[in-house]
Every structure is written in structure tokens, then in C-alpha cells.
Structure 1
Amino acid sequence: MPSLLHRLIARAPQRLQRDTLELELDDGRRIEVLRVRDPRARRLKLSVDERGARLTLPVRASMVSGDRFLHEHRDWLATQLERHRPPDAAATALAPGHTSQLPLRGEQVPLSWHDGRYIRIARDDAGIHVQRPARASDAALRRALRAFYEAEARADIGRWLPTYLAGLPRTPRQLRLKVMSSQWGSLAPDGTLALDLALVLARPSAFEYVLVHELCHLLQANHSPAFWREVEARFPRWREERTYFHAEGRQLKASLRSLLSG
């Protein structure tokens, strides 16, 4: 009975609360900041990624203290937003009938548009071809583009995976392609392998390295020296690919988000 009573009167778990606020930077730009009140947070935190700026507040922090913290870090925020902005954001947006190339496997591939009864995106030696009816919505076109990129990514994985399965204790339980904000891949305890869809925009050797990296977590569920020895044995050039991601990673992720979100 005491345990039942305790459950009945226990405070309901607090949840994340989200809203947005507008901030004017010193250069006159006005930006939206996602404000999140997080029960797990222990301090005020400002972060920036490809999706924009985020202000995290502990439960007991006041809105006034959050606003003051945000204004005190305006210069830092402007610098970080610039770092996460693609060099040419307009070039990565999908403009039906006008976009003339798409990123794929480290290259800009020629893109041609065709009238058709339904949406279809396919690739041949001449480039990528988009067939679409005149009344097709932009959202439907972006869904088709995502499906195209997923099919291309799975084709690459299907070529590489058999090479690396020997010596592993088991195969991945499932493969998922996701749009990730910071990671390039992850391996869940149940063996589900998740990879960032933006990898298909990268050069193939970089994509292959991330696959090998995550597969090696089936052997070592950490980043210990033993783990890196497993990576080294299977992919000796891994350092070059890690350097590549440091230089190009933000651009790759931002390009994909621009193409798929409109």
C-alpha cells in the first residue's frame, strides 16, 4: 500500500519545455533562438549546430537570467552561426526546374528535369534525372530526393559490408539511415547500426571509414586503444578520413538539411 500511495502522490516527471525567442545581433541580423527548459540541465548553456542556436536553461533559472546570458554571448553566437553556415546556402537549396547539380559521393553531379506523370529520381552515366508532374509539391519532391539518397547509400553499404564481416562476432541487427545533427554513426546495444544520410554526399572513402568505425564497435564498445587497433587493421587510412570530416563535415550536413528541408 505505501508504494501505491507513493506512486499516486509522487510529482509527475518534468518534461522539456520549448519555445523560441528573437535576438538581434550586433550586425543588425535578427535570428531565432530555440529556448529549452531541461530538467536535467545544471547550468545555462548556449549551443549552435546546423539547425541554429539553442539556449538551455535549468528548471530553476529565470527567463531574465537566460536573456542576460544570451545577450552577453552575442559575439560568440554570431561567430558560431557563421561557422555553421554553408559557404553558399542558396546553391544547396533544391529549386524545382532550376537546380542544375546535386552533391553525391564527393562530387557535384549534373541534374536534369523532365516532365512526367509521377515523381521519379534516377541516375545514369549522364547524371541525375528528375521526372515530375507540373503540380508536384515541393514536399513530395524532397521526399523523393531523400529516398533517392537512401537508395544510393544502401547500394554503397551493400558493396562494402561483405568485405568487413569476417572476424566480427555478429552482423548488425538492423541498418538505419538518419539525418544526424552531430554524429556520423552509432551502434546501439541491440546491434542496430545507424548512419548519417549525409555520408552519401561525402567522398566514398570517408563513408566507408565511418561504416568500418561503427562495425568495430561490435568488437570494442568504446574508443580504447584496442578499438583503434581494430580500425587500423581494417582501414589503415582512417586518419585521413577523420581529417576530411573535420574540414568538410559541417558543409556536408548543412547541404543535406538544406536540400531536404527546403
Structure 2
Amino acid sequence: MPPLSRLLTPKPKPRTLERDSFDFTLGDGRSIRINRVRDPRARRLRLSVDERGARLTLPPRASLVSGERFVREHGDWLAQQLAVHDGDDGIAPLQRGVTASLPLRGRMLPLSWHEGRFTALQFDGETLAMQAPARAGQAALVRALRDFYEAQARADLGRWLPRHLPTLPRAPSRIRLKVMSSQWGSLAPDDAMSLDLSLVLGTPDAFEYVLVHELCHLLHRDHSPAFWREVGARFPGWPAQRDYFHAEGRRLKAGLRRLLAC
């Protein structure tokens, strides 16, 4: 049995991650932003790339200079990995007057650009039109795009929820749309639901499946057989949607991050 003094002495709080970012120029002249994380658990320098971009992980004692030198030494590898993750999926960063289409509900819809008194993205059911004052900057355009996607996602939720809520014990306390790194949805202990905004880029069936999945957690907080029976009863085609996310999920998340520059 450990000494009483050890039991009564409070454990030191674990050190938290320290995050920032820096700009790096690739061999072809492109400038990219690299997320830098100092991790108290890390034992060595590590460079990684995923749908969120490039990330440099440093151990506690590593200097910033050594980290940037490490990135330079692996510059060719970094460029190759970024090319793999960017892919040729037709979703490029939003550019005024250049971007000619945007993803929505599993389709690429044509986009036109117009000068107007305020910045807003409009949709007639088949085509998109972005209007903005001449002085509007990139931040305003991206904000308008995000507002549009959130409005479209909430319109979808508004159509689906009345069909599912009557057979549930209660509704979610609130529903929040946000950019999620790996999950598609979650349900907090207070019944607040979070859904990944990139769901509105994919097919409606896939989006509705995630909603049903999280609603079923109001009945079963785990992923027990009873939980999956509820999902199957309420959304019989769910295995096909799971396969859809396996095939297209990374592309959807990467596409939204690229468009919103986040």
C-alpha cells in the first residue's frame, strides 16, 4: 500500500498541448500554413498530413528552430502528401470570380458571381449565385458560404425531425452545426447534439442517417445491439450510408475545410 502522504498529495495537473502555426514555402513556391503542436507526451519530432492540413508535433524540449529545420528536410515528402490529400475532387478554395461550382447535397452546382450591396450566397434550387460589394474581402465571402451551408443544413433537419421525434422520449436540447475533425455527430450528456457541417455537402440519405444515429442515442447511450436495432428500425438502409462515409467521408471533410480555409 502506498504511503498515506502519497495518497493525500494532489497529483500534478497534466501539461496541455500548446498550439500555434507558421508559414512554410514548398519547393514549387507555394506557401502553406503548418499547424504546430507541442505535445508533452511526444518523444520525437513528427510531421503528418490529413484532411486538416500539415501538422508538426514537437516534444517538450524541442526548439522551434529544430522543428522548422525538420520540416525543410522533409519538404519533398510534405508536398507529395499534400497532393494526395488535396486530390482531384473538384473542390478548391473559394476564389472570387474563379470558383465556378460548389458542392451541395451530393452534387456540384454551378456558381455565378455578381456585384451587389451586401454579401450573400443565393440558391434557386438548381444554381448558386454569390453577390458581394466590390470591397468585400475573402473573409466576408467565406462567412457567407458558411452561413449558406448552415442554413441549408438546418432546412434539411427541419424536414426530417418531425418524422423521427414523435417516437422518441424527448428531443435534443439543441442542435449545433460545426466543423468536426473526425466524428460526424455526437450527443452530449445534456442531450445537446453536434453535427458535422460537411454533411450538407454529401448525399441527403447519408446526412439523415447520421441524424437518426444520434437521435437513437437518446434511447441508448452506447453502441449495444439494442442501439443498432433502433437504428435499423428507424433507418433500414443505414449500412449503405456507412459504406458511403467510408468511401467519401475524407473527401467531404477535406472539401469543406478547403472551402472555408479552416
- TM-score where L is the length of structure 2: 0.80
Aligned residues: 253
C-alpha displacement at 1:197, in angstroms? 0.5
1:1-262 alignment runs, 5 A limit: 14-18=15-19, 34-39=35-40, 41=41, 47-56=48-57, 59=60, 81-88=82-89, 91-261=91-261
Distance in 1, matches of 2:114 and 2:76, equals: 46
C-alpha displacement at 1:65, in angstroms? 11
Q: Is contact 1:86-1:254 (8 Å) kept? A: no
Question: Any idea what SS the aligned residue of 1:166 has?
Answer: helix
Aligned CA distance change for structure 1 residues 16 and 117 (closer, same or farther; 3 Å)? same
Distance in 1, matches of 2:149 and 2:37, equals: 32
Q: Is contact 2:119-2:136 (8 Å) kept? A: yes
Aligned CA distance change for structure 1 residues 100 and 54 (closer, same or farther; 3 Å)? closer
Q: Which amino acid aligns with 1:205?
A: D
C-alpha displacement at 1:208, in angstroms? 0.5
Q: Which amino acid aligns with 2:174?
A: Q
Distance in 1, matches of 2:208 and 2:257, equals: 21
Aligned CA distance change for structure 1 residues 120 and 55 (closer, same or farther; 3 Å)? closer
Give % identity. 61
Aligned CA distance change for structure 1 residues 81 and 134 (closer, same or farther; 3 Å)? closer
C-alpha displacement at 1:222, in angstroms? 1.3
Question: Any idea what SS the aligned residue of 1:54 has?
Answer: strand
Distance in 2, matches of 1:113 and 1:77, equals: 34
C-alpha displacement at 1:188, in angstroms? 0.7
Question: Any idea what SS the aligned residue of 1:221 has?
Answer: coil
**Deviations 1:86-108 (Å, cap 9, x if unpaired)?**
3246x422121222211100001
Q: Is contact 2:23-2:33 (8 Å) kept? A: yes
C-alpha displacement at 1:13, in angstroms? 5.5
C-alpha displacement at 1:12, in angstroms? 6.7
Aligned CA distance change for structure 1 residues 239 and 95 (closer, same or farther; 3 Å)? same
Distance in 2, matches of 1:75 and 1:140, equals: 34
Unaligned runs of at least 5 residues, structure 2: 1-8
Aligned CA distance change for structure 1 residues 43 and 139 (closer, same or farther; 3 Å)? same
Q: Which amino acid aligns with 1:129?
A: A
Q: Is contact 1:49-1:181 (8 Å) kept? A: no
Question: Any idea what SS the aligned residue of 1:99 has?
Answer: coil
4+ residue segments displaced more than 3 Å: 10-13, 18-25, 29-35, 41-48, 53-59, 61-67, 73-83
C-alpha displacement at 1:259, in angstroms? 1.1
C-alpha displacement at 1:30, in angstroms? 9.5
**Deviations 1:58-91 (Å, cap 9, x if unpaired)?**
65x7669999x999x99997776555323246x4
Question: Any idea what SS the aligned residue of 2:167 has?
Answer: coil
